[in-house]
Amino acid sequence: MLLEDNQLTKDMDESRQGEVFSDSKSVNPGERGHYYIESYGCAMNFNDSEIVASILSKEGFAPITDMFAADLILVNTCSIREKAEYNVRQRLREFDKVKKERPGTLVGVLGCMAERLKKKLLEEEKLVDMVIGPDAYRDIPNLIAQAEDGEKGLNVLLSRDETYADINPVRINSNGVCAFISIMRGCDNMCSFCVVPFTRGRERSRDAFSILAEAQDLFDRGYREVTLLGQNVDSYKWENPENKEAVSFAQLMEMVASIHPDLRIRFSTSHPKDITDEVLFTMNKFENICDYIHLPAQSGNSRILKLMNRTYDREWYIQKIDRIYELNPDCAISSDIIAGFCTETEAEHKDSLSIIEYAKYSMSYMFKYSERPGTLAERKYEDDIPEEVKKRRLSEIVETQMRISFEHNQKDIGKTFKVLIEGNSKKSDQQWKGRNSQNKMIIFEKLGKHKPGDYVEVKVNSATKATLLGEMINS
């Protein structure tokens, strides 16, 4: 799941300042100054910013949405494609302007770019004061103190056990209804195109009971949907130190889903090699576990999948798709597809188009291959597909997916769905927006007395390739 590269973290929820599970001393928010934070990349990164917000508020920093008034500017970065890093470099130029206007302001780079570039980032970006990797956020207070004394701070140590389990994220990115919960960190998969194993380190699963406590706390505060996050949620495995029993992802889902039938559960991302029947059975057992699986194929061709080190082939992937629809015909499936991976032929590209048709994805995230330094693919294969060809293949993939999404949505016309209201629609405060179990956005006129966080029944009357339009029934 990748959020828009330039999405900012706004709507700071100041009422949640200073909430951390562990109980050491804290100072009042604002006593030390104000911080401004921007996040890029995946949902995990946005959730990490909420962990950072929690650490900062405990240190006496309060959030602010005007960067020109901030004492501390943080940018949580993504390295997944070259473009993501380019965008951050552009933003750093804007922060330079703030530093010129307000010379005492500190600038820190967090996240995957910090981890990938390490000291080089401090050398290249002269106005950056701190570079902090994804496993080093607890060290932020020390690094700030160091930077306040005029010494640049660097901590990019990766950890084998850090999960920030005891830190209750401050929900700076939230609509008050839906929240992300990180259940694991890192990735051991080594897909040949991917920089994540290098920037986020080894896979580790978080204490199941701390996840349960976080979900319960969210529910008690009115949240009605949690998304369990991990680079590869199906390999979640946590051993209970008390009885040495292992908790699997399916068991964790069951624990969280049992909190309350009104708490919806989503999860992301699933790896086709790891998703089990046990997970699919658990999804069927609980009405509040959403009928939606993000199951990235990356390519529809077996030779390319081998080069990508995905450890499954086209036939295996197709069997997984068949099994999901066999057990749950109402399940929506989405995907990630990469266009123009090293040595991909025209016929192999067509296999990616046909996998979209076969799997009938409700939607996909689609990308041009971007070579990342240090990855297996960069070291072993030539990035030999010309930019123009990558572009054209990507637009064919996008066109195919748009058509399939449109058909998928047209099939929903006339159906009635249970929808969780998330807030006003973008276009009008006379309309609600919300999603059904299949993760489809539905827009409908307000009727009766409802509020975000309520469930309503909505009948779909029409559909575009991106959205369903409907009307509330039994309001």
Out of ligand SF4, ligand 5AD, none, which partner does residue 289 contact, by CB within 5 to 8 A per kind?
none
Name which of residues 70 to 89 contact ligand 5AD (CB under 6 A). Answer: 80-81
CA distance 115 to 389: 32
Contacts of 471 (CB under 8 A, 6+ apart): 444, 445, 447, 458, 459, 461
Contacts of 428 (CB under 8 A, 6+ apart): none
Q: Is 2 in the site for ligand 5AD (CB under 6 A)?
A: yes
Q: Is 338 in the site for ligand 5AD (CB under 6 A)?
A: yes
Q: Smallest distance, Å, CB 76 to ligand SF4? A: 8
Q: Is 117 in the site for ligand SF4 (CB under 6 A)?
A: no
Indicate the helix (H) or strand (E) that contains 148: helix 140-148
> What is the separation, in whole angstroms, between the first and last Cα of the chain?
33
Out of ligand 5AD, ligand SF4, none, which partner does residue 300 contact, by CB within 5 to 8 A per kind?
none
Out of ligand 5AD, ligand SF4, none, which partner does residue 81 contact, by CB within 5 to 8 A per kind?
ligand 5AD
Strand partners, 445: 431
Selected range binding ligand 5AD among 66-74, 117-125, 368-376, 412-420, rule: CB under 6 A: 368-376
Strand partners, 451: none
Would you say 128 or 304 has its CB closer to ligand 5AD? 304
CA 320 to each of CA 64, 274, 289, 353: distance values in angstroms, whole numbers, following the listed order: 46, 10, 19, 18
- Which of 217, 336, 357, 383 forms a contact with ligand 5AD (CB under 6 A)? 336
Looking at residue 15, the DSSP 8-state letter turns out to be G
Name which of residues 42 to 71 contact ligand SF4 (CB under 6 A). Answer: 42, 44-45
Name which of residues 193 to 252 contact ligand SF4 (CB under 6 A). Answer: 195-196, 199-200
Selected range binding ligand SF4 among 40-48, 125-133, 243-251, 361-369, rule: CB under 6 A: 40-48
Q: Which two tokens stand for residue 344?
A: 């991909």
CA distance 410 to 289: 24
Of 67, 66, 37, nearest to 54 (Cα)? 37
Out of ligand 5AD, ligand SF4, none, which partner does residue 308 contact, by CB within 5 to 8 A per kind?
none
Contacts of 91 (CB under 8 A, 6+ apart): 38, 75
Q: Smallest distance, Å, CB 370 to ligand 5AD? A: 4
Q: Is 356 in the site for ligand 5AD (CB under 6 A)?
A: no
Q: Is 298 in the site for ligand 5AD (CB under 6 A)?
A: yes
Would you say 261 or 386 has its CB closer to ligand 5AD? 386
Selected range binding ligand SF4 among 72-80, 92-100, 274-282, 335-343, rule: CB under 6 A: 72-80
Residues 321, 297 contacting (CB under 8 angstroms): no
CA distance 193 to 80: 9
Look at residue 157 and give its three-state secondary structure: coil
Would you say 80 or 181 has its CB closer to ligand SF4? 80
Would you say 82 or 399 has its CB closer to ligand 5AD? 82
Of 139, 112, 122, nearest to 198 (Cα)? 112
Look at residue 351 and give its three-state secondary structure: helix
Looking at residue 27, the DSSP 8-state letter turns out to be P
Residues 41, 75 contacting (CB under 8 angstroms): no
Out of ligand 5AD, ligand SF4, none, which partner does residue 410 contact, by CB within 5 to 8 A per kind?
none
Q: Smallest distance, Å, CB 367 to ligand 5AD? A: 4
Largest CA distance in the chain: 64
Residues 44, 229 contacting (CB under 8 angstroms): yes
Would you say 372 or 433 has its CB closer to ligand SF4? 372
Q: Is 113 in the site for ligand 5AD (CB under 6 A)?
A: no
- Which of 53, 56, 62, 80 forms a contact with ligand SF4 (CB under 6 A)? 80
Q: Is 41 in the site for ligand SF4 (CB under 6 A)?
A: yes
Binding-site size for ligand SF4 (CB under 6 A) equals 14
Contacts of 295 (CB under 8 A, 6+ apart): 270, 272, 275, 320, 321, 324, 333, 334, 335
Which residues here bind ligand SF4, judged by CB under 6 A? 2, 41-42, 44-45, 78-80, 111-112, 195-196, 199-200
Interface residues with ligand 5AD (CB under 6 A) are 2, 80-81, 193-194, 296, 298, 336, 338, 367, 369-370, 372
